[in-house]
Structure 1
Amino acid sequence: MDARRVEAFVSKKWDDEIVPQLVDYIRIPCKSPMFDADWVAHGYIDQAIALMERWASAQKIEGMTLEVVRLEGRTPLIYVEVPAANGGSNDDCVLLYGHMDKQPEMTGWDDDLGPWTPVIKGDRLYGRGGADDGYAIFGSLTAIMALREQGLPHSRCVILIEACEESGSYDLPAYVDHLAPRIGKPSLVVCLDSGCGNYEQLWCTTSLRGLAGGNLTVRVLSEGVHSGDASGIVPSSFRILRDLLSRIEDEDSGRITIEGMHVEVPAERLAQAKEAARVLDTAVFDKFPFLDGMTPMADDLTELVLNRTWRPALSVTGADGLPPLSSAGNVLRPFTAVKLSLRLPPTLDGKRAGELLEKALTENPPYGAHVTLELEKASTGWNAPAMLSWLHGAIDGASREFFGQPAMYMGEGGSIPFMGMLGEKFPGAQFMITGVLGPHSNAHGPNEFLHIPMGKRVTACVSNVLHQHHLASQRGETTGVAAVAGGQERGNHGCC
């Protein structure tokens, strides 16, 4: 493979086609169904699907088929199948995954930016969804085309682009089951929906946290009453809620106090966290927009990496029952409700975590208050299987070729439900989980951006890995147990 030729092909494709397509895509407010209950009537998801379908269908890829699959009552899914070429195998398969639904607007965007306002500043394309994860279908097909442009072989490729990932991918299992005979059994899964610690090397995700969350409500009265009359007699719903949260979280340290929420961190993940902390240094925390004088939750950088990737952590992401400051009177309110988002260690069973959370918060409520927890999510995370040596070599080689630096491996703090599901359905598959969401890119928040050079390099790296996958398939190395070197599994280097 001529790496410089791949690089030139990918760069031109991004500049001439992909960036303009992403500009149009960012303009579409195709929010995930959890954030747009009327998504069918609004039609934005269909607009984004149509944009991607038009571009993909226009690409000159011999034998490619594309279908927008629509199961009754579910969000649509783009299914693309590209047959093997130039001597590649149709018996082996690579599955490439992405999504096109978006998070909601969020406040705090700079005056000249906005969620649906694409703006290019230098190497950055600002706007919601470009990096998370609108570029996936464009990058995946471009990586395949870069090989074909040189007449290089690759195995059969299947691309899935779903439309409800930001809502927990609840539609995806039905589609994977529906399409199972057509997908086959992939030996490699490539996911372009993850993050990177910096923009100077290829980063691959070794684990993803699970998630338990929902709406916690504390009710004390049937209606609000004068605070001067009732305070001291009627317990405050806010104070009771605060007390309940103290059952599960130490308010001084942030540590989750339910022991069943913690797991032992595998030795190889500890080693990866230490190496990531060494490479990133203060970028572990200074990528976040801290206010002057603010400090992170620990001084030890390795501990911060582990806090973010392997330990449970609670966030309160919304509230109800609290009037705006401008209209808040002297009233003891009848209820307080908050939305909880509890990140879980990758190997903790999500269902069990949800049960522990509900029990801790609702049993024996203070003063007999009416306490409910409506669980919206209770999903298990994912820990990558041990990596086969061909893939470790392909990923590291791609990073050195297109970045000039070795590949890095680190867990991510977020969740991609698709990974755990695929791990169960295809236990023999290897995983390359990577992405472009690096420092300050602020996925889900204001001023979200796509780092365009990173998008190009990741695309080129995927192209290299697809080619190496073919070579490994020819040698019979794409299935089987992880290689052993020096008494340790290659998996200890990390997996994507």
Structure 2
Amino acid sequence: MTDFELPSAAKSQTRATLDQLKDAVQDGLPTAIADLSALVRIPSVSWNGFDPAAVAASADAVAALLTGLEVFESVEIARAPITETGLLGQPAVLATRAARNGRPTILLYAHHDVQPPGADEDWESPPFEPTLRGDRLYGRGAADDKAGVMAHVAAIRAFTAAVGTDFDLGLVAFIEGEEEFGSRSFTNFLEEHKEKLAADVIVVADSDNWDTSTPSLTVSLRGNVTFKLTVSTLAHASHSGMFGGAAPDAMLATIKLLSSLYADDGSVAVAGLTSQQWDTPEYTDERLKAEAALLPGVTPVGTGTVLSRLWMKPAITVTGIDAPSVINASNTLIPSVSVRVSTRIAPGQTGEDAYAALEEHLLAHAPFGAHVEISDVDRGNPFLVNTDGWAVAEAKDAMHEAWGVEAVEAGIGGSIPFISDLVAQFPEAQILVTGVEDPDTRAHSPNESLHLGVFRRAILTEAVLLAKLQSRA
């Protein structure tokens, strides 16, 4: 049995054993799953065009969960303005408890907003009706990131079940409400609540694990640049038979322009977008084909090791297109086409520099003199974790205790741009990027799901980490 020994000056504090925490997590798992299911039923999509009342209802539900823990000195729902518009962002939940007797403060971050569900027919069960199939809970937000919210809540429940509520560790819970829509008020929120958010250790529970039996500590994240690209060639639609073959339509120009972004092997061909060199764990083409669901005969793109392509090189994806649907297509030349472009950028390059390279490329490669407009731009910086701090060692030990295997230090191809804002506001804080997802989670996609074994072990990891920090003078 492992004890988390307290310093001699704090022997009056209760000691938490690993077995106590395991029992508490297991006993609390049904309640945690039920609470998570209740959150999933709230369609808290933070994007424009979706009902903001659902995000507000989700914030209320999270605030009630944090209040019910009876460990925080204050729990509030707050909103901050978006700099570009002056409008208030979506509601976040902020709960605080001051540290005592020299103990550190840990900030637990997650977000309660979710991605749009997409088409209902692409889901095997309704996106906002949590459904258990086998060892996975399906539903939009079941993993990303309402499971992150509940991992924090359930870990605190297990920790207090083992040590009681009279402990010295400082706790902050910051549950954001607009991460999936670019965290547009995040910087202002940090500035307005800087004193309450200050912490020695920040845990961002919004990442992946190596697989369902091996934990990951995320040590690198790509940044992102997203924007709407509109390509126009005609003042109005024209008859494709009368003018096709001489007048360039917008679809032709868009296809040629988008094609210029890629080399023949599918890698990015935009001058100025940079890459990094990094030794990566073994990850085969076969694993990529299975986890990314490549169809038979489809081959991977790019060069270098698979994980170097996913973690340390840029990627460009067209994630949406506005054009006439097939069923509504008529024999006309289309005057304008709009697409949504999502670019992942490698660590070492700022979002601002990457956007400048993309803008220059698109303007220079517009075919047939097509008019190009770039709008609705979001930029986010990549992140590299400093793994030299004591908190990284404590987190990896906690993962080993909870999972029974060593943690993998992994990069992630996705982006959590606000982490650079956390670094700027709290340069002395140690940041730990953890998560409850696994390669089969399908975050952002139809049939998103949470592996309940991963969920249990993620909760236990965080409960063990809290006990370790409680024992640290």
Structure 1 partner of 2:318:
316
SS in 2 for 1:378: strand
Aligned to 2:328: 327
The Cα offsets for residues 374-397 of structure 1, whole Å up to 9 and x where unpaired, read as 242122111112332x33432332
Task: Establish whether residue 170 from structure 1 lines up as the match of residue 172 from structure 2.
Answer: no
What are the residue-to-residue correspondences of 1:261-280 with 2, within 5 Å?
A: 261-265=273-277, 270-271=278-279, 273=280, 275=281, 277=282
Distance 1:284 1:430, change over 3 A: farther
Mapping 1:272-421, distance limit 5 Å: 273=280, 275=281, 277=282, 282-297=286-301, 303-320=305-322, 322-363=323-364, 365-388=366-389, 390-421=390-421
Shift of 1:177: 0.9
Pick closer, same or farther for the CA change 1:219–1:83 going to 2, 3 Å: same
1:292 to 1:246, Cα distance in 2 relative to 1, 3 A: closer
- Which of 75, 78, 85 is the matching residue for 2:90? 75
Contact 2:249 2:334 in 1 (8 A): yes
Q: CA deviation at 1:314?
A: 0.8
Q: Quick check: 1:66–1:81 contact (8 Å CA) kept in 2?
A: yes
Query: SS of the residue aligned with 2:26?
Result: helix
- How far did residue 88 of structure 1 move? 6.0
CA distance in structure 2 between the aligned counterparts of 1:146 and 1:232, rounded to whole angstroms: 69
Give the partner amino acid of 2:77: V
Distance 1:229 1:308 in 2: 46
* Cα distance change on mapping 1:26 and 1:416 into 2, 3 Å: same
CA contact 1:154–1:466 (8 Å) conserved in 2: no
2:75 equivalent in structure 1: 66
AA in 2 matched with 1:315: T
Q: Partner residue of 2:85? A: none
Other-structure match for 2:422: 422
Kindly tell me the number of residue pairs found equivalent between the two proteins. 450
Residue 154 to residue 114, structure 1, CA distance change in 2 (3 Å): farther
Aligned partners of 1:232 and 1:398: how far apart in 2?
Answer: 65
User: In the alignment, what sits opposite 1:202?
Assistant: 215
For the 8 Å contact 2:437–2:454, the answer to whether it is kept is: no
Q: Cα distance 1:419–1:111, how it changes in 2: closer, same or farther (>3 A)?
A: closer
Give the partner amino acid of 1:254: G
**Distance across 2 between alignment mates of 1:439 and 1:200:** 11
Shift of 1:243: 2.4
Structure 1: distance between partners of 2:95 and 2:400: 30
Instruction: Quote the residue 2:5 is aligned against.
Output: none
User: Could you tell me how far apart the structure 1 residues matched to 2:132 and 2:149 are?
Assistant: 21
Q: Which amino acid aligns with 1:326?
A: I
2:47 corresponds to which of 33, 42, 46 = 33
Shift of 1:168: 0.9
Say if 1:297 and 1:304, in contact at 8 Å, map to a contact too: no
Distance of 2:366 and 2:285 partners within structure 1: 44
Query: Are the counterparts in 1 of residues 95 and 174 from structure 2 also a CA contact under 8 Å?
Result: yes
Q: Which residue of 1 aligns with 2:460?
A: 460
CA–CA separation in structure 2 for the residues paired with 1:211 and 1:259: 16
Deviations 1:434-481 (A, max 9, x none): 111112210010100111221111111112222323444x2xxxxxxx
Distance apart, 1:80 and its partner CA: 0.8
Q: Please tell me whether the aligned partners of residues 310 and 345 of structure 1 are also in contact (alpha carbons under 8 angstroms).
A: yes
TM norm structure 1: 0.85
Distance 1:23 1:221 in 2: 50
**1:125 touches 1:452 (CA, 8 Å); kept in 2?**
yes
* 1:209 positional shift: 1.0
1:20 maps to which residue? 34
1:243 aligns with 2:256: yes
Candidates 61, 81, 98, aligned match of 1:51: 61
Match of 1:448 in 2: 448
C-alpha distance in 1 between matches for 2:380 and 2:308: 20
Give the direction of change, closer, same or farther, for the CA distance of 1:71–1:264 in structure 2 (3 Å limit): closer
Partner amino acid, structure 2, of 1:79: L
Q: Per the alignment, in what secondary structure is the counterpart of residue 378 of structure 2?
A: strand
Partner amino acid for 2:404?
Answer: G
Tell me the distance in 2 between the aligned counterparts of 1:108 and 1:309. Answer: 31
- Give me the whole-angstrom Cα distance separating, in 1, the residues matched to 2:364 and 2:298: 36
Equivalent residue letter for 2:174: L
The letter for the 1-side match of 2:308 is L
> Does 239-248 or 158-167 show the bigger shift?
239-248
Q: In 1, are the aligned partners of 2:382 and 2:420 still within 8 Å (CA)?
A: yes
**Within 5 A, what are the aligned runs for 1:480-491?**
none
Residues 212 and 454 of structure 2 are in contact (CA less than 8 Å); yes or no, is this contact kept in structure 1?
yes
Residue number among 17, 23, 40 corresponding to 1:8 in the alignment? 23
With 412-421 and 362-371 compared, the bigger mean Cα shift is at 362-371
Instruction: Report if aligned partners of 1:387, 1:430 keep a CA contact under 8 Å in 2.
Output: no
**What pairs up with 1:151-170 in 2 under 5 angstroms?**
151=163, 155-170=169-184
Q: Per the alignment, do residues 346 and 363 of structure 1 end up closer, same or farther by CA in structure 2, a change over 3 Å counting?
A: same
Deviation at 1:35, TM superposition (A): 5.2
1:212 aligned onto 2:221? no
* Pair 1:364–1:410, CA change in 2 (3 A): closer
Counterparts of 1:24 and 1:224, CA distance in 2: 48
Amino acid of the residue matched to residue 295 of structure 2? L
Change in Cα spacing, 1:284 to 1:367, as seen in structure 2 (3 Å) is closer
Distance 1:429 1:284, change over 3 A: farther
Residue of structure 1 aligned with 2:149, choices 115, 131, 137: 137
Q: Residue by residue, what CA displacement relative to the aligned partner does 1:249-268 show, whole Å, maximum 9, x if unpaired?
A: 22x21222223101333xxx
CA distance in 2, matches of 1:303, 1:364: 30
Structure 1 residue 411: deviation in Å? 0.9
Distance 1:146 1:83 in 2: 20
8 Å CA contact 2:399, 2:461 repeated in 1: yes
Instruction: Indicate the SS of the match to 1:424.
Output: helix
Distance of 2:96 and 2:154 partners within structure 1 = 14
* Partner SS, residue 402 of structure 1: helix
Deviation for aligned residue 1:245: 2.3
- How far apart, CA to CA, are the structure 1 residues paired with 2:207 and 2:403? 18
> Contact 1:209/1:413 (CA < 8 Å) preserved in 2?
yes
